[in-house]
Structure 1
Amino acid sequence: MTQTCFVIMPFGIKEDASGRAFSFDDLYEFLIKDAIAQMEGVEALRCDEISEAGWIHSTMIKHIAEAPLAVVDISTLNPNVFYELGVRHALKPSGTVLIRREGTESPFNIEGFNCIDYDLGDGDKRREFQRRLQAFLNNARSQPQHSDSLVYDVLPDLRVERGPSICERKPRFLWDTHIYPYRLVAQPEKEICLVAGDWRDIKHCDVWVNSENTNMQMARFYERSVSGLIRYLGATKSITGDIEKDTVALELAAALGGAGRVEKAAVVPTGPGLLAQTNNVKAVFHVASVEGELGFGYRPIAGIERCVRNALQMADASRFRELHLESMLFAIMGTGTAGGDLADLAARQIGAAVDYLELNPASAIKRVCFSAFTDVMLETLTAAVAAIPNLERPEP
């Protein structure tokens, strides 16, 4: 899935802070845009390239708020640029890279931030600038949990809720199961599905994916989590519902062989326990999608979308061929106790599933499902799917 890098900078020929005039259009076309074009899965966008109807300032703010990556040129010390940088830092904790013409001094409030210098006249320095810009952007992509915003450094618990029509109401739990399929344009036989409802009523997915911590410690039976639900539903129980054998958790512990932790994004498969009988589940894949830190709790791992790719690769492994695995069920990982942003994580994880299916047309997996427990989750996942041009709704 291609990510947008929104470039915030002046247009045309302008003077920098020292009075030196140069073409910002040339800077954008031949240094910034060219460097980003060489990166896989990223495309540059400047405000003057947006071909949308409506007030240009509202469109610009939308891209400042939504783009996973942004490059901000502070060379002119222009108030408009600093206003837009302030909006970006207030709305996005990470993914912002500052650049400036060599010799420009950063204002006091941002002088502590890393800033990449460029020189338009020196070929070696131009190439070094492009190399560093690519490195900064790749670091921001792989480590989105690392803040580059002073706002979030000072206020680490700050949260920006998207869409007042969604977040101003109390989420409503979806009890009835409904499936919303989206076909891959290039492979109509493959589908990404949004599944609304209770996991206990889902009986059409061969693999259930359990978002787990790097210690592979399953949640307690009655905690509000997929991990606890899978643990309970997979266990054998007495006629009164008491646990007789903690089947899935015991098998997971045995698979670890005494190891206290696994690598980030690692996948540990187990059997489904009683879920094989009740929900037609053939395997459970436990994925290390969050990590704990003493005193701070859990947080999503960097590059959490790797968990989706690794789980799909595991399903295609030869060891599972005899199970004829064709469908998988995910919750959006990192949004529970780890507190990750649902909209951002949904876009990245659904995009990773689409990318895997497109890059692996021989994959045995025909349907990748993402669950939504509430109406707010369903609306957020629907918006994420709608933003992927590689998907289409089948005709009713």
Structure 2
Amino acid sequence: MPYLLLRGVLHTASACIFLLLTACAEAPAQSLSTAPTPAPAPTATAIPSPVIAAISRPLLSFEEWRSLLRSDAIAAGIDAELFDRTFAGITLDPKIIAADNSQPEFTRPVWEYIDGAVSVSRVAQGRLLKAQHRPTLKAIRSTYAVDHEVLIAIWGMESNYGSNIGSHNVIRSLATLAYDGRRQVFWRSQLLAALQILQAGDGPAQGLIGSWAGAMGQTQFMPTTFSQHAVDFDGDGRRDLWSSAPDALASAAHYLQASGWDNGQPWGFEVNLPQGFDYALADPEVRRSLAQWRALGVNPVRAIDANEQNLATLFLPAGHRGPAFLLLNNFRSILKYNNSTSYALAIGLLSDALDGNPGVQAAWPRNDRQLGRSERIELQELLTRKGYELGPADGIIGANTRKAVRAFQQTLGQPADGYPTQELLVRLRASL
């Protein structure tokens, strides 16, 4: 699901007072991670905040907070009657705060995530829908220069082709998060954007329905993303991502176009690595042309039609014992939709399957047990104690953690693939 910051929302004096009173500090953006997202969940870029440290509970009552929000919404152009009608009967939802504060272990292996994402049934249904919507998809490609398959893949991953768009009242969810969530500035911007959607008449008659985090429609757009990238492609005068597949697909295409999608080029592809390969090159900071990778003996598993001068990075989602992929610019565009490499890999592989291409050829190390969140935090803490600089121990295996893991693997004489394992954690414990 894509997340963008709201631009152009007016910040009035009362907004500043509200921020200082609630003293809400914005959380940093999530690091690039291979952890699969278990459901539509926020991975948005954080809004810089000038305010000081967060407190555990708001100082304002919900009614006082809503009164300040009303003033700011009206100053931002929201009709007072619409605001009052929309917020009539809105109460806080404790289940939303519980979901926002949850800390899942994320122990599901990437191969299980891929298995579910690229299931036989999802591929079969996607191919059927691709044929059914071919005229619309051609028109979308002509307008936005985005390939059919990636749009169908996003549609399938985000809402199971429109069959699961969520059941939460988006206004209630966002109001709860903006009042008492961990990133109140971000959620408040989403709430104001949702009110703008209602004022424009784009939402369904029954109100805005979506995920617990406020993602909406068949392609699960956050309100600020909707404001910037949702389009009326079926020409009915409304940007309807809930019940209009043409609007939903075209809006996703518009988003990918703005994210730098290179039409006709692959997202990436599986490769074979030569004996004695330097696995330390599987680093997102190492970008080489396809021709340069070929010169190192890195070759596609199947024939690929791609510009040899395109830059690519090598990706080992399960370490040196699992499949290897070269990732191109379009993979980065998918990451802007959802900043999880597992998600982007699933979208790429599903789009390949929809185009009739075979799945992953190399075997996954399915007997490996994944590190739990507490173990990942311990790994990070131990690496920090050994002098590696990787930031706070948050349990997210991002670029800095992988860099530190590579460095430690090199001291052990192991393949420096940056992939944390149980065996590596044991060796790390013993080294201190």
Fold conserved between structures, TM > 0.5: no
TM-score by length of 1: 0.28
Q: Which has the higher contact order (CA 8 A, sep 6+)?
A: 2
TM-score by length of 2: 0.26
